[in-house]
């Protein structure tokens, strides 16, 4: 069977997305980031705030570390990936206690855009 270039790309993305999702679900987010984030990755939160937008791997890591320091994570579930072209989605369900706050469930979708085997954009939906 001949595979169309469009479908072949989607298969590569799915492999990348599955590996990325597995690392994230195992709580190995920093490793996932080191392996798959592009140097010029951009991230976009859904609400205003200090880290509403980040540009570049250093700032994205700074945001990730700030988040990790301010939340105690009890459980992470990651559903997906769901793929279209060079983008994929993961559905995150995280049980956390924010510093000084109460235990809560966070549900969010993250849309990842991939170029040349690296994640160049993360967009958060909730």
Indicate whether 6 belongs to the interface with its own copies (CB under 8 A): yes
* Contact between residue 112 and residue 119 where contact means Cβ atoms under 8 Å apart: yes
Nearest-angstrom CA–CA distance, 38 and 41:
5
Please give the size of the binding site for its own copies, defined by CB under 8 A. 26
The 3-state DSSP class for residue 87 equals strand
Indicate whether 4 belongs to the interface with its own copies (CB under 8 A): yes
Indicate whether 46 belongs to the interface with its own copies (CB under 8 A): yes
Closer Cβ to its own copies, 25 or 89, answer by number: 89
* Binding window for its own copies (CB under 8 A); candidates: 19-27, 70-78, 80-88, 93-101: 80-88
Give start and end residues of each alpha helix (H) in the chain. Answer: 5-25, 29-36, 57-70
When binding is defined by CB under 8 A, the residue of 2, 39, 48, 69 that contacts its own copies is 48
């Amino acid at each position: 069977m001949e595979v169309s270039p469009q479908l072949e790309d989607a298969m590569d993305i799915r492999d990348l997305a599955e590996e990325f999702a597995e690392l994230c679900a195992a709580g190995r987010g920093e490793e996932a980031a080191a392996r798959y984030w592009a140097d010029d990755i951009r991230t976009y939160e859904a609400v205003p705030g200090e880290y509403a937008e980040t540009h570049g791997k250093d700032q994205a890591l700074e945001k990730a570390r700030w988040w990790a320091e301010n939340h105690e994570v009890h459980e992470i579930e990651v559903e997906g990936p769901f793929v279209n072209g060079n983008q994929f989605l993961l559905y995150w369900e995280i049980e956390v206690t924010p510093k000084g706050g109460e235990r809560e469930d966070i549900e969010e979708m993250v849309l990842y855009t991939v170029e040349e085997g690296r994640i160049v954009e993360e967009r958060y939906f909730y």
